Amino acid sequence: MSHQSIQNSKAIQCDENIGHTALTPSEIKLATPSADLSSLSKADLQKLLTDYQNQHLKLTQENNALTKSLEQYTGIYNHSGVGYLILDPKGTIQNANLAIEALLGCAKETLQNKNLADFVYPEELKGFQNFIQAATKQTANQRFIFKLNNPGYKRKPHDSKLAKNAARDPDTPDNESIYIECQHTFNKNQATNLQIHLTVNDISEHKCAQERINYLNEHLHKKILEQSGELIASSQKLLKKVNELNHSQRLLQEREARLNSIFNAAVEGIITIDSTGKIVAANAAITDIFGYSNQELVGKSIIKLMPRTKIKLYARFFKKFLTKRIPKIIGKISEINGEHKNGTIIPIDFSVSAFSLDNESYVTSIIRNASLRKEQERQDKALLDELAHVTRLGLMGEMASGIAHEINQPLSAITSYTQVCLNFMQNEQPDLEQLATVLLKTQQQALNAGKIIHRMRDFVKFKTIYRSNVDINSLIQICIDLCDADLKHNNIIQHFMLADGLPTVNVDSVQIQQVLINLIRNAVDALKTMPPITRRHLSIQSTLNNEQLIEIRVKDNGPGIEIVDQKKLLMPFFTTKSDGMGMGLSICHSIVKAHEGKLHFNSLVNRGTTFYFTLPVSIRKNHHGRS
Amino acid sequence: MADHKLASIVYLVDDEFVMRDSLTLLIESTGFIVKSFESANDFLEHYDPNKPSCLILDLRMPALSGLELQEELLRKAITIPTIFISGNAEIPDSAKAFRAGAIDFLQKPFNHEVLLLRIKEALTKDRELRTKATEMAILEQRMNRLSAREKQVLSLVVSYRSNKEIGKLLKLSNRTIDIYRANIMHKMQADNLPELVLMLREIDHLKNE
């Protein structure tokens, strides 16, 4: 059968050769069937013979070439890696090459007259038959892939790698199956010959690879799905983040808007300066306080808002302030003077905070016009002073009998001494030395009485309060002098623990005396209620405490204060005394507070009470006129 | 008078040095002997009951006050005449002092003449008290010599009962009453009935004081 196909191809080649060779006229003559050899001359015959011989030689040459070519093709046909099959219309094998033998695991001889269908996997038989049918109709090229039913064919070793991979994965296709691809070639020349020419390929590997690719694709797909799941999750997170960011941005905007409105609506002036003291921003309240418009301020030095008369001082102070003092005063309220556009000096309270932006540091200051506060403070103070004075008068009234006694004492002594002198003088030769001694004593007593009256007058005089630096111990002494009679009258034993060398306090002496006297008298009143047998002690102590404050303690061993009363003790109009107004301690509290001190007490029922108050040590006034 | 001054002591108790100093000088300048003390207890330690004396006492003192000292003296039956002095005298205090037998209650500053007068009064009173105390002692001594029956008769005699009536009451004869009466007159050293009556009144009077 292969001969035929070879013949076919040879014929094609021959046709071509013939086409290329031009025919001679003798040839034409010879070819003519009606030609008569006899009519030919010897020469012509000779020529014709020569021609024939030439022709024969040529044909032999060509035949040789063809045979050679046929051998070549047969070799190619038989040894080609691609299988070739020729079937009759029923599918019976008529011819096969070596590749087919190998593929189907059958010798060529046994293959002959076997139907190809025998080799097809039973389940695919129907498809195969359709394929053969289609092939016989010769309408077009057909292609069919089937699985070998009974492969007698071993895999090539280079497949081991694939096989190994496959072994690991149960999903990989069966390696032992062999898939065959049959390609039917539609041949126009064979149109009438009912032969089916098939090109057969082992596509197992290809299929295996294909399936593997499919499998891997699936895997990939799964992976991609997984990955995309993760991606979706993270993108959702991202989205959430973005939403959050949007939200916070909105909040930020809201805040900024709010801050802006606060900035401009604030009653307090807000001003921002850079590190050189140049004004960067100022709000509306600044204009109210200083009278300058925003345009007049932004870009100008902060010095513009300071008193002109002290400009140099402030400039120097401010430089130092900007570099060194800012960290110390952050969060604190400081007092300073500013100057209005019209030249008025305005007391201002200010607090600062610092911030940095792009390596540039800024200071923001909140400024409050303190004139009102100062005025309020002045009024409060005036009220307190007045109230203190009124209560002081009351206190003096309560103390009158004691003080009368205090004055009586020296007066009695004076009358006695003077009488003594008179008696001495009645002698004929009075002892002048003795007389002088007694007169000196008289004088001393008169001075004592005067001193007490002086103190009493000072105590009740309503003078404009002025503070001076005084020694607290001397104030304590004055108070003791005024209360002495009361203390003695009530058999109270006095103890003093006054620290030496205490720094002075800057106070209104009279008001602090009032506090002391109040506390002493309270102690006396408490001690009075004790039965006469008990020893009544009053101790007064002055110290410089750990906080560098002067602390004064007035302690008694009286009946103590009931816990219920303790809470109300410092409130106005609270009193435990039948004839008390309830103003004493309340005023003391206010006075001490006005002196930047604190008034406290400890009390234990049946053990006694200690009142203590602190006063700041006086400070020298600093260079810019404020302490 | 000068003799009295020398013999008598003016005690002064005041916690104030100035008061002690000025008063001591003043009282001494008038010729009295003054002993001053800072506290009531000091005074109690140094008080000499055998010497005629008076006491100038400050009302207000730490520890023992003037009134408390007065009470203490009464408790100890010390009858020293006392003049209170005070810086700020209060009526309840002065009343209490007077009830307890104070000579006076002087308010500082006081007129020195009044003080001296009161000192003299006090010393006179002290002298009187001392005399009376002596008389009382003598009379009591005489009374103690009487028997129970004699004392019975005496109480009837001084209530001006006649011998007859006494005899009837005690169921004794007139004669016996006469003897008792004579014994009584003798023991009591009375010259006549009125003198005896005076003696008994004196005893009653002193006892009541």
Q: Give yes or no for A485 touching B (CB within 8 A).
A: yes
pTM for the structure as a whole: 0.50
Distances (CA, A) of A572 to A381, A383, A518, A587: 17, 15, 14, 8
Residue whose C-alpha is closest to residue A556's, from A486, A504, A507: A486
Q: Which chain A residues have a beta carbon less than 8 Å from that of B21?
A: 413, 441
Round to whole Å and give the CA distance between A331 and A283.
Answer: 20
> Peptide bond before B109: cis, by omega within 30 degrees of 0?
yes
Sequence-distant (6+) residues with CB within 8 A of A155 are: A163, A175
Round to whole Å and give the CA distance between A414 and A410.
Answer: 6
Round to whole Å and give the CA distance between A612 and A157.
Answer: 108
Enclosing H/E stretch for A209: helix A204-265
Backbone phi, psi, residue B147, to 5°: -80, 170
Residue whose C-alpha is closest to residue B4's, from B33, B36, B26, B46: B33
The three-class DSSP label of residue A203 is coil
Q: Give yes or no for A410 touching B (CB within 8 A).
A: yes
Residue whose C-alpha is closest to residue A458's, from A513, A408, A391: A513
Tell me the residue type at A139: T
Q: Which chain B residues have a beta carbon less than 8 Å from that of A416?
A: 22-23, 25-26, 109, 112
Average pLDDT, chain B: 85
Name the minimum distance, in Å, from the CA of B105 to any CA of chain A: 15
3-state secondary structure labels for all residues of A53-92:
HHHHHHHHHHHHHHHHHHHHHHHHHHHCCCEEEEECCCCE
Asked if A13 and A65 count as a contact pair (C-beta separation under 8 A), the reply is no
Distances (CA, A) of A379 to A374, A376, A502, B56: 8, 5, 32, 56
Asked if A172 and A218 count as a contact pair (C-beta separation under 8 A), the reply is no
Round to whole Å and give the CA distance between A415 and A396.
Answer: 26
Round to whole Å and give the CA distance between B66 and B61.
Answer: 7
The three-class DSSP label of residue A573 is coil
Round to whole Å and give the CA distance between A458 and A28.
Answer: 172
A75: its two tokens:
């070799």
Residue A26 CA, chain-centre distance (Å), reads 111
Q: Report CB contact under 8 Å: B88, A423.
A: no
> For the residues B2-7, what does the mean pLDDT come to?
57
Name the residue among B61, B87, B111 with its Cβ closest to that of A405. B87
Residue whose C-alpha is closest to residue A284's, from A303, A270, A301: A270
Total Cβ atoms within 10 A of residue A336 = 20
Q: Report CB contact under 8 Å: B63, A491.
A: yes
- Chain B residue with the nearest C-alpha to that of A417: B22
Q: Report CB contact under 8 Å: B16, A409.
A: yes
Residue in A399, A405, A419, A439 to test binding to B, most B beta-carbons within 10 Å = A419
The residue to which tokens 């999903």 are assigned: A171
Name the residue among A414, A416, A492 with its Cβ closest to that of B25. A416
Q: Report CB contact under 8 Å: A408, B88.
A: yes
Name the minimum distance, in Å, from the CA of B126 to any CA of chain A: 25
Round to whole Å and give the CA distance between B114 and B104.
Answer: 10
The three-class DSSP label of residue B81 is coil
- Chain B residue with the nearest C-alpha to that of A414: B22
Count how many pairs of residues, chain A against chain B, have C-beta atoms within 8 Å.
69
3-state secondary structure labels for all residues of A505-535:
EEECHHHHHHHHHHHHHHHHHHHHCCCCCCC
Q: Report CB contact under 8 Å: A417, B25.
A: yes
Partners of A422 in the β-ladder = none
The residue to which tokens 């009962």 are assigned: B161
Total Cβ atoms within 10 A of residue A528 = 14
B43-88 pLDDT per residue, tens: 999 998 888 899 999 888 877 888 889 999 989 888 899 999 887 6
**What pLDDT is recorded for position A465?**
65
Total Cβ atoms within 10 A of residue A505 = 24
Q: Which residues of chain A have pLDDT under 70?
A: 1-38, 138-140, 150-177, 186-194, 317-329, 463-465, 578-581, 620-627
Q: Which chain A residues have a beta carbon less than 8 Å from that of B23?
A: 416
The three-class DSSP label of residue B48 is coil
**Residue A321: DSSP 8-state:** I
Residue in B41, B88, B90 to test binding to A, most A beta-carbons within 10 Å = B88
B112: its two tokens:
């020195």
Name the minimum distance, in Å, from the CA of B30 to any CA of chain A: 7
Residue in A403, A406, A412, A495 to test binding to B, most B beta-carbons within 10 Å = A412
Name the minimum distance, in Å, from the CA of B95 to any CA of chain A: 18
Name the minimum distance, in Å, from the CA of A405 to any CA of chain B: 5
Q: Report CB contact under 8 Å: B62, A491.
A: yes
Asked if A348 and A367 count as a contact pair (C-beta separation under 8 A), the reply is yes
Name the minimum distance, in Å, from the CA of A437 to any CA of chain B: 11
Q: Report CB contact under 8 Å: B19, A412.
A: yes
Residue in B26, B36, B67, B116 to test binding to A, most A beta-carbons within 10 Å = B26
Asked if A415 and B110 count as a contact pair (C-beta separation under 8 A), the reply is yes
Q: Which chain B residues have a beta carbon less than 8 Å from that of A401?
A: 88
Look up the ipTM and state it. 0.72
Q: Give yes or no for A534 touching B (CB within 8 A).
A: no
Residue whose C-alpha is closest to residue B56's, from B85, B94, B93, B33: B85
